[in-house]
Structure 1
Amino acid sequence: MEIRSISPWKWQDERSYAQAVEAKNVTSTLYVSGQTAISADGVSSDADMQTQLTLALQNLEQVITEAGYECKNIVRLNVYTTNTAELWPNFPILQAWVAKHGTKQATTLLEVKSLFETLSVELEATVVK
């Protein structure tokens, strides 16, 4: 498999994503449902954005790993939040996670009116191998 990031500009590099991602010779694709700050017991977090983002990333990584995939092969990562202004100060947490895995994914960030129960951030990924 070969993954190629396409970014005609440099400004997106500071935001830890690529404008487009091409994946060639893929043997399988994993479509990961939105991962949030829900505990293993199914309890939705009512914690602050930093705590919820951290737990959502842990849950995302667990699902990807248990499926036999690697986070470095995420080709698309969609971020949904109920409050972009609260997410921005915590965005370095996501950027550090992306850097840790060496991921260069296409990303879309959307502010939505609400998420399930008390949740404030949700991460949806497409992973290849």
Structure 2
Amino acid sequence: MNKTVINPWQWQDHLGYTQAVEIPLATHTLYCAGQAAINAQGQPVDGTMEEQIGLCFDNLDTVLQQAGYSLKNVVRLNFYTTSIEQFFAAYGQVMNRLQRADCVPSSTLTEVNALAFPQLRIEIEATAVK
């Protein structure tokens, strides 16, 4: 995959994302539904923000692999959280997963009042290309 990172500034570099990613002539695009802390039986899993972030990424990895992609193919991540404060307190978990995969996506973070189940604190939506 040939991609160009577009960063007019440097301040976002330590946060693990980029302002834009250009993929010329991508042959396939995968739009992933939001992945939350849901187990294989479809039940929400209560846990800390860090634990839920880990399960969100595990679920995203499962979806990506099933479709023949990996986290490295992800060019956009949208984070929906019920607490930006808790999210940033656990942001090391996000950075660890992205750095291990050599993934530097464009990204948006939004605080919401609630997610699909009251136990959920975070949901991650992804777009991947190859």
Shorter-chain TM-score bucket reads: over 0.9
- The equivalent residue for 1:75 is 75
Equivalence map 1:12-27=2 (5 Å): 12-27=12-27
Equivalent position of 2:124 in the other structure: 123
Q: Say how many residue pairs are matched.
A: 129
Q: Tell me the alpha carbon deviations over residues 44-63 of structure 1, each in whole angstroms, 9 at most, x when there is no partner.
A: 01211111111001001110
Divergent runs of 4+, >6 A: none
Taking every aligned residue pair, what percent have the same amino acid on both sides?
Answer: 41
Give the deviation of 1:104 after TM superposition.
Answer: 1.4
Residue identity opposite 1:106 in structure 2: S
Question: Which residue is equivalent to 1:8?
Answer: 8
Residue equivalent to 2:36: 36
Q: Give how far 1:24 is off.
A: 1.1
TM-score normalised by structure 1 residue count: 0.97
Secondary structure, counterpart of 2:23 in structure 1:
strand
Distance 2:129 2:11 in 1: 26
* Secondary structure at 2:34 match in 1: strand
Question: Per the alignment, in what secondary structure is the counterpart of residue 38 of structure 1?
Answer: coil
Question: Mind listing any 5+ residue stretches in structure 2 that lack a counterpart?
Answer: none
- Counterparts of 1:56 and 1:70 in 2: how far apart (Å)? 14
- Cα offset, 1:121, TM superposition: 0.1
What runs of 5+ residues in structure 1 fail to find an aligned partner? none
Q: Following the alignment from structure 1 to structure 2, what is the Cα–Cα distance between the partners of residues 81 and 119?
A: 8
Alignment RMSD, CA only?
Answer: 0.8
Query: 2:42 and 2:116 mapped to 1: Cα distance?
Result: 12
Please tell me the residue identity of whatever aligns with 1:126: T
Encode CA deviations 1:77-105: one digit per residue, 9 max, x unaligned.
00000011111110010011010111111
Give the partner amino acid of 1:21. Answer: V
